[in-house]
């Protein structure tokens, strides 16, 4: 899947404004720009390390970082991490920490409104609780939370028909006022 997704990201970078009339992609395009910038930063870091500690392995890695294959793998690694990570608050860590990986939780598909709870009984004991009964051979779902179609598409590769959690954020201010945000559902 990562090859098709990487091709989509490249296409989106060139054509995102015309993608789909019901999906807002401004943030997604900013994310692609951020991915390109972070890939460039890695390339610059590798160049610096190659100059500081010359050796064949670093030189080969630096040369590889200049290729489209590196960029494709960089996109894949970022989206694999983003689509499987959870907010740090789930584990009781500060909100400004990096997202966390919880093996097993990432195997469940999303279903909007599914009554579930994520918690930790201890730092090494994650608990996933469903608040409904399931029959044998029935799929158990997770609930990724309220996500816009833009976020669902860019992070998980699917959209919700009708975009029930799509919002439009407008910054309203006069020249003398500080910015204020208003969220409008549509």
Residue 148, CA atoms < 13 Å, CB-side half-sphere = 18
Low-confidence stretches of the chain (pLDDT beneath 70) = 1-25, 27, 168-186
Structure tokens at 181: 């945000």
Structure tokens at 40: 């460039």
Report phi then psi at 142, rounded to 5.
Answer: -105, 170
Nearest to 48 by CA among 62, 38, 28: 62
Whole-number pLDDT of residue 122: 80
> pTM for this one?
0.63
Whole-number pLDDT of residue 6: 55
Whole-number pLDDT of residue 93: 81
H-assigned helices in the chain: 2-15, 26-52, 56-64, 68-84, 149-156
Whole-number pLDDT of residue 103: 85
Confirm if 113 and 101 have CB atoms less than 8 A apart. no
């Amino acid at each position: 899947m990562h090859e098709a997704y990487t091709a989509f990201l490249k296409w989106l970078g060139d054509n995102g404004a015309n993608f789909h009339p019901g999906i807002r992609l401004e943030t997604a395009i900013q994310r692609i720009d951020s991915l390109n910038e972070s890939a460039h930063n890695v390339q610059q870091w590798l160049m610096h390390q190659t100059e500081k500690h010359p050796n064949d392995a670093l030189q080969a890695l630096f040369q590889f970082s200049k290729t489209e294959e590196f960029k494709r793998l960089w996109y894949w690694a970022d989206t694999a991490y983003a689509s499987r990570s959870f907010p740090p608050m789930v584990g009781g860590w500060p909100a400004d920490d990096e997202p966390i990986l919880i093996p097993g939780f990432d195997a469940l598909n999303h279903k909007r409104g599914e009554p579930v709870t994520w918690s930790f009984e201890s730092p090494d004991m994650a608990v996933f609780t469903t608040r409904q009964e399931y029959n044998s051979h029935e799929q158990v779902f997770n609930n990724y939370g309220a996500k816009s179609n833009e976020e669902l598409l860019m992070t998980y590769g699917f959209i919700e028909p009708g975009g029930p959690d799509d919002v439009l954020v407008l910054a309203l201010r006069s020249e003398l006022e500080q910015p204020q945000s208003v969220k409008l559902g549509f």
